[in-house]
Amino acid sequence: MRIGIPRALYYYRYGALWKTFFSALGCEVILSPQTDRAILSQGSRYAIDESCLSAKIYLGHCAWLLDKCDFIFVPRMADLGRDKEFCLRFRAMPDVVFSTFRDEGVRIVSCDISMHKGKSEAAAFAELGKKLGFKKHQTLTAYLLAKQAEQQQAAAGARKLEAALAGPELKVLICGHAYNIYDRYVGQPVLDAIRNNHAVPIPADWMDRDEAWQAAADLTDTMPWMVNRELTGTAVLLKDRVDGIVLLSSFSCGPDSMTDEILTRRLKNIPILTMTLDGQDATAGMETRIESFIDILHLRKDGTVCL
Ligand code: SF4
């Protein structure tokens, strides 16, 4: 059985878990390629105008997978508990993908993750294995292996974070969703620009998720979205260990607009640059903004300017 996984949205957060789960069950995992102009154009063609850039990219990856697998895996992700909600787009995504590609005969496989409804991640994966026709013990074994892979990924992130923070170079925290940071077409040019200006980009997802989620309480009591809480908490925890912060958002993202506002208003004594990804090919404007920002960070570090 070939399971297609769109290389977009929470693939960049849960990819190790998902790939290991399906592979351990003996499924062939077909991963869509890196985002490029063609994938984004396809996604934009299928998406409604109000979609955020990241959701458009997701639909482009689904379109690529249509004729290459038996099922596209599109989980319905609602929440992992109180103040651990996912953006509404993740709840609706199986319906959106199904209705968008119904005429093309799309076949999706999904599972529901919603602690408010008593559906934990473990229960969701048990349901998923059953739907695909696997026995309970096979599904459980696959899920446990998948959790190990996820833990290894988190441990690798923690090691990279400590190594980056220990170095002498200028450090820039990239505060954004992993699917924006790691997407080769929209996010990586920003990281490349930072490196080209002799600074080290530090992706926010290297931070321990629980620690970050808890630290967000310093700045907000009300933010309901789990990942945005983690981003807020990561900025709180690292602000004295980095030289600057880039807030990286998708165009028309609601949760990020609130997070960015909270961080720019309430985080003190740290230079912050907000960057909105809109899928444009031209990078000159972005590169100029990064260059100017990093110049300021260098001057601030040298004591030439005081911000
Ligand atoms: S959090 Fe923002 S970027 Fe992510 S899916 Fe929701 S609206 Fe889009």
Whole-angstrom Cα distance, residue 23 to residue 68?
17
Centroid of ligand 1 to alpha carbon of 74 (angstroms):
16
Q: What is the pLDDT of residues 118-177, one digit of tens each?
A: 999 999 999 999 999 999 999 999 999 999 999 999 999 999 999 999 999 999 999 999
**pLDDT surpasses 90 at 279:** no
Pull the structure tokens for residue 175. 């505060």
Q: Has residue 98 been placed in a domain?
A: yes
Please tell me whether the overall predicted TM-score, pTM, comes out greater than 0.85 for this model: yes
* Centroid of ligand 1 to alpha carbon of 24 (angstroms): 30
Q: How far is the CA of 51 from the centre of ligand 1 (A)?
A: 9
Whether 172 is covered by a domain: the verdict is yes
Contacts with 287 (C-beta within 8 Å, 6 or more apart), sequence order: 193, 196
Predicted confidence (pLDDT) per residue in 36-93, tens digit:
999 999 999 999 988 999 999 999 999 999 999 999 999 999 999 989 999 999 999 9
* Shared-domain flag, residues 232 and 266: yes
Residue 35 is classified by DSSP as: -
Same domain as 143, residue 212? no
Q: Do 307 and 296 contact (CB within 8 A), yes or no?
A: yes
Ligand 1 contact via 33 beta carbon (within 6 Å): no
Residue with CA nearest ligand 1 atom 7: 253
Last residue of a domain, one of 149, 181, 198: 149
Measure 88 CA to ligand 1 centroid, in angstroms.
8
Residue of the nearest CA to atom 6 in ligand 1? 87
Which stretches of the chain are DSSP H helices? 11-24, 37-46, 53-65, 88-101, 121-131, 136-166, 178-181, 188-196, 209-215, 226-238, 254-266, 284-302
**Residue 136's CB: how many other CB atoms inside 10 A?**
10
Is residue 50 assigned to a domain?
yes
Residue 225: which domain range? 167-302
Of 149, 177, 197, at which residue does a domain stop? 149
Q: What is the mean pLDDT of residues 234-259?
A: 96
Which single residue is written with the structure tokens 């709180």? 236
Please, what's the b/e burial string for 196-221 (b: 16 or more CB within 10 A of its CB; e: otherwise)?
Answer: ebebbbbbbbbbbbeebbebbeebbe
303 pLDDT exceeds 80?
no
Q: Quick check: CB of 88 below 6 Å from ligand 1?
A: no
Domain count, the chain: 2
8-42 pLDDT, tens digit per residue, is: 999 999 999 999 999 999 999 999 999 999 999 99
Q: Which atom of ligand 1 is nearest to the CA of 177?
A: 4
17 CA from centroid of ligand 1 (Å): 21
Position 302 scores a pLDDT of 79
Average pLDDT, integer, range 258-263 = 95
Structure token pair of residue 225: 């979205």
Domain-ending residue, one of 95, 121, 149 = 149
One domain for residues 188 and 91: no
Tell me the CATH number at 53.
Answer: 3.40.50
How many angstroms separate the Cα of 21 from the Cα of each of 74, 131, 159, 236? 14, 14, 24, 34
Residues 6+ apart with CB under 8 A from 132: 1, 25, 27, 109
